Amino acid sequence: MFIAMNRFKVKKGSEHDFEQVWLTRETHLEDVPGFVEFQLLRGPERDDYVLYASHSLWRSEKDFEGWTRSEAFRKAHAGAGANKPLYLGHPEFEGFTTLQGISAEGA
């Protein structure tokens, strides 16, 4: 499995606008080959921002890379530049692979 994460430092006062951009967008993700799951996460509050992360799970890194070169990706990110003033700096991208997984009994 491959996890693609983007971290956003959202300015205090812009949390609602940032969430609305994500919650109302068309993701076009459901039918992308190798896509497993997406989550929008709200993280800790710091002095001047709230940390958010977009978190998507893929069958493999190759599937994720295929998506970033697809028409679905282009559509999902159309207009993303318009939202820049909502967060500090650039989103930080980090890709992860699973080394060990443990599940609850019966899960």
Binding of its own copies by 13 (CB under 8 A): no
Is residue 101 within the footprint of its own copies (CB under 8 A)?
yes
Contacting residues for 81 by C-beta, under 8 A, at least 6 apart:
none
Q: Which long-range contacts (CB under 8 A, 24 or more apart) does 22-28 make?
A: 22/54, 25/76, 26/75, 26/76, 27/76, 28/72, 28/75, 28/76
For position 21 contacting its own copies by CB under 8 A, the verdict is no
Binding segment for its own copies (CB under 8 A), chosen from 47-55, 68-76, 77-85, is 47-55
- Contact residues: its own copies, CB under 8 A: 3, 19, 22-23, 27, 29-31, 35-44, 51, 53, 55, 94-105, 107
